[in-house]
Amino acid sequence: MTLRETVIGQACTSDEQGIRLALELAGLAAQDGEVPVGAVLVKEGVVIAAGRNAPIAQHDPTAHAEIATLRSAAQALGNYRLDGCTLYVTLEPCPMCAGAMLHARVPRVVFGATDEKTGAAGSVVNLFAEPRLNHQTDIQGGVLAEECGAALSDFFRERRKQQRSAALAAHPLREDALRTPDKAFAVLADYPWPAHYVSDLPALAGLRLHYLDEGPQNAPRTWLLLHDASQWSYAYRHMIPALLANGDRVIAPDLVGFGKSDKPKKEGAHSPQWHQQILRELVERLDLRNVVLVVQGQGGSIGLPLLRDAPDRFVGALVLNVDEHQPSNPAERAALEAPFPDKGHRAAQRAFARWMLENPPVEVDTTVARLSIDHFIPEHGADVAKHAVEYFAHF
């Protein structure tokens, strides 16, 4: 038996009781994604009809709670004239519903919350008080107004949250940025991990940041892997399995302008401070703890300041000094170049190169454990990872 069926036949001896019964129907509408408005019609102290909003489900703009209730009552009584009845509804009627009530000769209407946008019982217009109409209806508003209003506010708050989540999931591309097509990454050797994206960090301002997130979130250790200006997260494809085999968590972002992340068109959009702020916000968003920071080449100028800024989150730093090296495998060379189909996608690389010429290498004094590896080659990543796991196990 539906809630509507259980409501019909119930005794109703007060305005508050009538609105509470209508609120139950409003809740049913909300569960189905409809605006939570419910209504009941009472005659001689008994509910004879009930309805709730259903325009979405029924593809019917007239399927308001009041209309459904009026139709049900007319069928129950065998008469479209609803003399001697009181209609209870959780929201002030709109002009359409108010007109239907007047045509039905409903003598009394009681509602809960006011509707400042379409209310036809005094908020926008008052059809019920129009003296030129041949029927007047007694109106009582504000019964359980706070509860009725809260039901609507909660519904729209949740719907806005869902809409924001849907928009974020879509990650629309900004006009001042480029995005490498997914087909460029369709076949990558030794890179099987699913993509994660975020675009609502304040510093991103809507740009999409890609990152890998593998291993248990409650792992005893997390490795934050930052690539250099000639690479992207693909460069860590040999290290990641070895770190995961130790039961650790691995986070490998593509800095904005690299890999699967969005790429601002102008070099001037990039600065070390901006990239550092994005990483700070990502670390906080993911609530990373017991982190070993891993940096390559120019990635050190971006990542190493994090050790100073968030010392409670980091336990160590692995610095990989990268030699100029191109993989011998053509497929791997193509994979490293995949994010950059043309020079327009390389603004970040040009900006990084300029920083290196204009600024000395970053040195950050910290108390965390530090391990440096010279002449690092990505193909040797598994061995380096095993060595790092053993080294940082003591800290």
To the query of whether residue 66 is one of the catalytic residues in this protein, the response is yes
* Crossing angle for the helix pair 15-31 and 65-77, to the nearest 10 degrees: 120
Pick the catalytic residue from 5, 16, 34, 66: 66
Cβ-proximal residues to 366 (8 Å cutoff; 6+ apart), any chain: 307, 308, 311, 314, 317
* Angle CA 317–318–321, to nearest 5: 130
Residues in a beta bridge with 39? 51, 89
The DSSP symbol for 353 reads H
Closest to 355 (Cα-Cα) out of 319, 309, 301, 295: 301
Whether the CB-CB separation of 207 and 262 falls below 8 Å is answered with yes
User: Amino acid identity, residue 185?
Assistant: F
DSSP strand pairing (291-296 vs 263-264)? unpaired
Cα Rg, the chain, nearest whole Å: 32
CA distance 176 to 204: 13
3-state secondary structure of 204: helix
CA distance 36 to 272: 49
3-state secondary structure of 357: helix
Whether the CB-CB separation of 230 and 297 falls below 8 Å is answered with yes
CA distance 290 to 277: 20
Q: What is the largest CA-CA distance in the chain?
A: 93
DSSP strand pairing (249-253 vs 314-322)? unpaired
Place of tokens 């059809």: 127
Cβ-proximal residues to 38 (8 Å cutoff; 6+ apart), any chain: 21, 22, 23, 24, 25, 26, 27, 28, 29, 50, 51, 52, 53, 65, 89, 90
Q: Which two tokens stand for residue 71?
A: 């139709």
Q: Mind telling me the catalytic residues?
A: 66
